[in-house]
Amino acid sequence: MKIEEIHSFSDRLGTQGVVLCFNGPFSHGIVEQLGQALRRHMQDAFARSPLVLDVFGVFVEQAQNIQNYVGKAFAPNDPATHGLSVIAKEGERFVVQSGNRVRNADVASLEQRLSRVTSASRDELKKMYKQQLSATIPAGESAGLGLIAMARVSRDPIVYRVDPLDGDVSYFSLRVTI
Whole-angstrom distance, CA of residue 106 vs CA of residue 102: 7
Cα of 115 vs its chain's centroid, Å = 16
Per CB under 8 A, does 93 bind another protein? no
Q: Give, rounded to a whole angstrom, the gap between the first and last alpha carbons of the chain.
A: 32
Q: How far is the CB of 46 from another protein (least distance, A)?
A: 12
Q: Which residues contact 6 (CB under 8 A, 6 or more apart)?
A: none
- Contact by Cβ (8 Å): 162, 171: yes
| Selected binder of another protein within 19, 20, 31, 70 (CB under 8 A) | 31
Phi/psi at 50 (nearest 5 deg)? -60, -15
| Selected binder of another protein within 37, 105, 133, 165 (CB under 8 A) | 133
- Contact by Cβ (8 Å): 140, 148: no
3-state secondary structure at position 40: helix
Closer residue to another protein, CB minimum distance, 10 or 142: 142
- Contact by Cβ (8 Å): 101, 165: yes
Segment near another protein (CB under 8 A), from 14-22, 105-113, 136-144, 159-167? 136-144
Residue 70's Cβ-side half-sphere holds a number of Cα atoms within 13 Å equal to: 26
Q: How far is the CB of 99 from another protein (least distance, A)?
A: 20
* Contact positions with another protein (CB under 8 A) in 52-71: 53-54, 56-57, 60-61, 64, 67
Segment near another protein (CB under 8 A), from 4-12, 82-90, 129-137, 158-166? 129-137
Closer residue to another protein, CB minimum distance, 64 or 173: 64
Per CB under 8 A, does 145 bind another protein? yes
In the complex, the residues that contact another protein under the rule CB under 8 A are 28, 31-32, 35-36, 48, 50, 53-54, 56-57, 60-61, 64, 67, 129-130, 132-134, 137, 139, 142-143, 145-146, 149
